[in-house]
Structure formats: structure tokens, C-alpha cells
Amino acid sequence: MSTCGVAEGRSAVGRPADVLVEYAHAAAEHGRAAAATGEVSAQIPELSRVDPDRFGLAVALLDGTEIQVGDAARPFSLQSVTKLFALCALLRDEPTAWEHVGWDSSGAGYGSVSELETHAGRPRNPFVNAGALVVTDRLLHHTGDAAGAVTDLLRDLGGEHVQRDRQVALSEAAHDHRNRAIAHVLAEHGRLLHGVDTVLAQYFEQCSITASALAVARAALLLADRTGARGPLDAGVVRRVNAVLLTAGMYGAAGDIAYRVGLPAKSGIGGGVVAVLPGVGSICVWSPRLDRTGNSTGAVAAIEEFARLAGWSVF
């Protein structure tokens, strides 16, 4: 199934809308084939129950064009994709938040404790887990409900009902010893405003947010609009978020994704990946099977193929 919001004419990338639909279907076929090499995450038991063959692709352009393929309208667990929108929500309320979380790429895994210790408890960027916990903590300080603030932002930007999956949050809370260790290290270095248990509860609730690929693609238009007119961030903040997204959004695979795809992108272990082409639009793909770096094999392959066909790249 596919739909397109512009039946005739040309899209914002200068290609007819029906051609972009063809590209989306070709990219989805490519992604489905690549997905067979991955495995569904067992890190959170509740996620392991997801049908591994689900696949959804959505494209949203600044000119109003929307394309859906497969399960693009079916909600899935966003997990670390929410880190991007939590950062945007925080920068709306605290533009100087970069004082508390860095913007450098990380040479360690997204759950590294040793790297945090090396830098006196200051996270390298907002997308590693330590950085995400600091963002959640500070967003909680400003809003009183960090998970709710992220849910509301996604709902406002995505134009669809966005929910939190309580079972996923509980499953993560019961099995996530690594983030608990990271939170204690942050607290030891005085990097948290709230207690460890409070921050973790909010973080798990945030990661449990569910939304469709179409809603996420729509929401990411916030970062595609260079003018800052589509959301609560000005143009300078949008530019900086996209820069960090390109260098750190895909963790240890960020350099590989920049080389292969050429787009700022963010992934989550729920199988979602969202990528942005500033000035043009965004694409979100959901495919639950992951590679060894924790990124969706099918989603990355589909986005790479769509970017190749449509000529999407920041370079």
C-alpha cells in the first residue's frame, strides 16, 4: 500500500511525486531483503515478541508530499528514536543545554560507562545513553513530566495519536542494569538534578513511546525546515542538532552511515530509523531486525537505497 499527498506535479526535490513513490517501493523491497540478515533485539523481552517481518516506510516532504509503504501507519516502539525529540524539547526550554551534554562523536558504545568516567561524568553527546539520561533529567526539571513532554511534541508535530506502552517500560525497567549503572555514575559526578530512580522511570517511559513511521517522518520535518518555522527551535538550533545527528545519531556506525547514506539519522532498538535531508524532507523506516551495532538492517538498507535513487545527501 502506498499513498501520496501530491497526485500531480513535482516534489521538493525536483522529481515527480509518482517517481518518488516508485523509489519508495524499490527502497522497501531492498530493505525487506536486507532485513533477513538481522535479529530482533532481546535486550528488552517485550520487544522480542514483535513480528520480525513487519516493515513500514514513510516519506514526508516540506511541500506536503507524503508517501507510505507497508506498515507505515502501524505504531512501533520508538526506543532511542525518542532521544532526538527529547533533545528538541529540552532545547526549546533550555537553549544552553549544551553546557551539560557534549556534541562530540563517541568512540565507545552507546552504553559505555568507562567513557563517562574518562570525561568527568559529562556525556559525549545527547544520543549515547548517558547523554539521553541527562537530557531527560533536565527536561523533567523544566516540564515536570519529561516523557509527557516528548509524547506531546511528537503528537503535535506528527499529527497522530502517540502513546506510551506501559508493558515495554516495565520490561525495560526490570532488565536494564546498564542504564542504572550509568545513572549512578552521573549522580556521583553531580550531573543529575533528580534522584536516579526518578530519572530512570521517566527515561523508560520516554523510550516506550509508540508512533507510526509516518508520524515520525512528519515530526522530523522540524529538522528538515532550515528556517525553524515548523516548530519550537530556531534555525541555528536546527542546524546544530542536525550536525550532532549526523556525527552521533547512529552511534558507532555514524561514520559508516554518513559515508553510505549522507544524511543525519537516528535509530532505536525497536527497529526504527529516521533520517533528514535539510531543506527537503525526512524518511522513517521501521524493520525490527537489527545488526550488531543495534541498528535496523532493513531500515538502513531501505534509507540508503531511497537516498541513492532520489539523490538525497547533505554532501
| Number of Cβ atoms within 10 Å of the Cβ of 280 | 20
Round to whole Å and give the CA distance between 254 and 61. 24
The set of cell numbers assigned to 311 is 539523490
Q: What per-residue confidence (pLDDT) applies to 3?
A: 52
Q: What per-residue confidence (pLDDT) applies to 7?
A: 33
Contact 226, 238 (CB under 8 A): yes
List the chain pLDDT tens, one digit each, 315 residues: 445 543 334 444 556 788 999 999 999 999 999 999 999 988 888 899 999 999 999 999 999 999 999 999 999 999 999 999 999 999 999 999 999 999 988 766 676 787 888 888 889 999 999 999 999 999 999 999 999 999 999 999 999 889 999 999 999 888 888 999 999 999 999 999 999 999 999 999 999 999 999 999 999 999 999 998 888 999 999 999 999 999 999 988 899 999 999 999 999 999 999 999 999 999 999 999 999 888 999 999 999 999 999 999 999
- Quickly list DSSP for 54-99: --EEEEEETTS-EEEEESTTS-EE-TTHHHHHHHHHHHHH-TTGGG
The set of cell numbers assigned to 241 is 542538532
Contact 282, 217 (CB under 8 A): yes
Contact 22, 38 (CB under 8 A): no
Instruction: Give the list of residues 6+ apart from residue 44 with CB closer than 8 angstroms, or none.
Output: 79, 168, 171, 172, 175, 176, 269
- Which superfamily, per CATH, for 17-310? DD-peptidase/beta-lactamase superfamily (3.40.710.10)
pTM of the model: 0.93
Q: What per-residue confidence (pLDDT) applies to 6?
A: 39
Q: What per-residue confidence (pLDDT) applies to 1?
A: 47
Helix boundaries (H) for 159-212: 166-175, 177-188, 196-207
Chain Cα centroid distance, residue 304: 16
